[in-house]
Structure 1
Amino acid sequence: MGSSILEGFTKSLAMTVLSEIGDKTFFAAAILAMRHPRRLVLAGCMTALIIMTILSVLLGWAAPNLISRQWTHHITTVLFFGFGLWSLWEAFTGDGESEELAEVEAKLDGNLKAGSPGSKGASKDNDDLKKLQTRFLMQIFSPIFLKAFSITFFGEWGDKSQIATIGLASDSNPFGVVLGGIIGQALCTTAAVLGGKSLATQISEKMVSLSSGILFLVFGVQSVLASATRL
């Protein structure tokens, strides 16, 4: 962990903001905030993102203890270049339309229809069993909170930003990465919840992909230069 807390913080903050703006979880938070109380949506999304960030940083922090620090540094460098090229490819091959917004909206509408009273597929016994299993959680957490939490948590699992956070934490100060990641997630999620769908539809996915691609490539170059200075 040769880098300072400030370096880990700035890298994590910049990476998180550019990765999460226009992401599926960003659109999900915006759409949910239009249909449900904003405070519950914000609380559910932020709880999931904080837990995901901490888990990702812990995985990255533990990686050098499982693999040699030299190998984790090389893997992180490759990830930065890989994600940078991936993002640039998305920027230049995308049609400029908000495809992810339409996909998330369709998925949320599908879940809403599947849970409507008119569906006849589930039996009454299964419904009663589900009610008994979830009654305790429903007494503690609002269903809206749980919905926002689950959609955000599982939407972020295995996402590009999560893997990048793991790689960043393995080669940077973990405290700085956690702090920068949480603040970045808070900024993006708050903007999505308060701005709603109108903000989401005005975001240029091409510019976001282009900016994040350049940022990842810069991180990759910095990683290569850092390894060169150690030789």
Structure 2
Amino acid sequence: MIAALLLSFGVIFVAELGDKSQLMAMTYALRYRWWVVLLAITVATTAVHAVSVFFGHFLGVSIPSDVMSILAGVAMLVFGLWTLRGDHLDDDESTKADRVGKSVFFAVMSSFFLAELGDKTMLATITLSTNHDWLGVWIGSTIGMVAADALAIAIGALLGKHLPERTIARAAAVLFFGFAVWLLWEGLADAGTVTVIATLSAVVVLLGIGAVYLVHLRRSAPGGPSGQDDVASANDIEEPRTTVR
């Protein structure tokens, strides 16, 4: 078991260096609390590698990756739009912050889970588990991936302290859209015509809905056009007249 653990740790750690998972982890850390991102990645990685070990050791089969890549690409697109939306605090800031924290955790966890299904690290874990102790492969591969992503999270958290909030949001959104294109390209490379048309149609509709929603948020924001109109109308109210006797 120890040998399988060490082997799996080394293989997965090296495979993750420079991979899109590291870039995703750094991007999330630019925007959100590092420990929430790391915890979400750990949960997603544990689940993905459990699936890998099950299929590799007990069934000896692999999972088709095209559909998973398409779903992961759509998830990255949604998260990019969400990042452009930004986080707005209500009067009850503690409740809002708690809700945002939970939503970020589940968003990071689900996006990593989808992105890793069918990825090279999952395929490597399946291959290792066919000839080595499954528990050692599971533990070693999970630790290796979390360790590699932790390095990227540290870099992202460090950069986030020295960049303006608006710059971070825009850079993160651009990276998320880049991940979406990357994953969709991988998923659609060998897909049929119907799948390609359906996926591209869904992407266009999603972008259209996101654009309309972002415009609505900008207009309804305090500094937006509607907010300025409200201020102007308030200034137009005449002050009560005082009669001098």
Q: What is aligned with 2:46?
A: 50
Match of 2:119 among 151, 156, 159: 159
Higher RCO (CA < 8 A, seq sep 6+): 1
Match of 1:178 among 117, 123, 138: 138
Match of 2:21 among 21, 25, 35: 25
What is the RMSD computed on CA atoms of the aligned residues? 3.2
Deviation at 1:198, TM superposition (A): 7.5
Q: What is aligned with 2:56?
A: 60
Deviating beyond 2 angstroms after TM superposition, the runs of 4 or more aligned structure 1 residues are 107-117, 138-141
State the alpha-carbon separation in 2 of the partners of residues 166 and 26 from structure 1.
Answer: 20
Match of 2:106 among 143, 146, 162: 146
Gaps of 5+ in 2: 63-72, 86-97, 160-245
State the alpha-carbon separation in 2 of the partners of residues 115 and 31 from structure 1.
Answer: 11
CA offset digits 1:119-158 (Å, max 9, x no partner): xxxxxxxxxxxxxxxxxxx969711101111221111010
Match of 1:113 among 77, 81, 96: 81
Normalising by structure 2, report the TM-score.
0.49
CA offset digits 1:67-113 (Å, max 9, x no partner): xxxxx9xx9xxxxxxxxxxxxxxxxxxxxxxxxxxxx9xx9577433
State the alpha-carbon separation in 1 of the partners of residues 25 and 33 from structure 2.
Answer: 11
Q: What is aligned with 1:37?
A: 33
State the alpha-carbon separation in 2 of the partners of residues 170 and 113 from structure 1.
Answer: 40
Residue 149 of structure 2 aligns to a residue whose secondary structure is helix
Match of 1:8 among 4, 8, 11: 4
Q: Which amino acid aligns with 1:62?
A: F
Quick check: which has more Rg, 1 or 2? 2
Q: Percent identity?
A: 24
Decide whether the 8 Å contact of 2:34 with 2:157 is kept in 1: no
Normalising by structure 1, report the TM-score.
0.52
Deviation at 1:115, TM superposition (A): 7.1
State the alpha-carbon separation in 1 of the partners of residues 157 and 84 from structure 2.
Answer: 23
State the alpha-carbon separation in 1 of the partners of residues 53 and 100 from structure 2.
Answer: 28
Decide whether the 8 Å contact of 1:57 with 1:177 is kept in 2: yes
CA offset digits 1:142-186 (Å, max 9, x no partner): 111011112211110101110111111011111111121121122
Decide whether the 8 Å contact of 2:41 with 2:146 is kept in 1: no
Q: What is aligned with 2:151?
A: 191
The size of the alignment, in residue pairs, is 137
Deviation at 1:50, TM superposition (A): 0.8
Gaps of 5+ in 1: 65-71, 76-103, 118-137, 200-231
Is the alpha carbon distance of 1:35 and 1:57 closer, same or farther for their aligned partners in structure 2, counting shifts above 3 Å?
same
State the alpha-carbon separation in 1 of the partners of residues 59 and 81 from structure 2.
Answer: 43
Is the alpha carbon distance of 1:141 and 1:32 closer, same or farther for their aligned partners in structure 2, counting shifts above 3 Å?
closer
Q: Which amino acid aligns with 2:104?
A: I
Residue 148 of structure 2 aligns to a residue whose secondary structure is helix
State the alpha-carbon separation in 2 of the partners of residues 114 and 141 from structure 1.
Answer: 14
Residue 18 of structure 2 aligns to a residue whose secondary structure is coil
Deviation at 1:62, TM superposition (A): 0.7
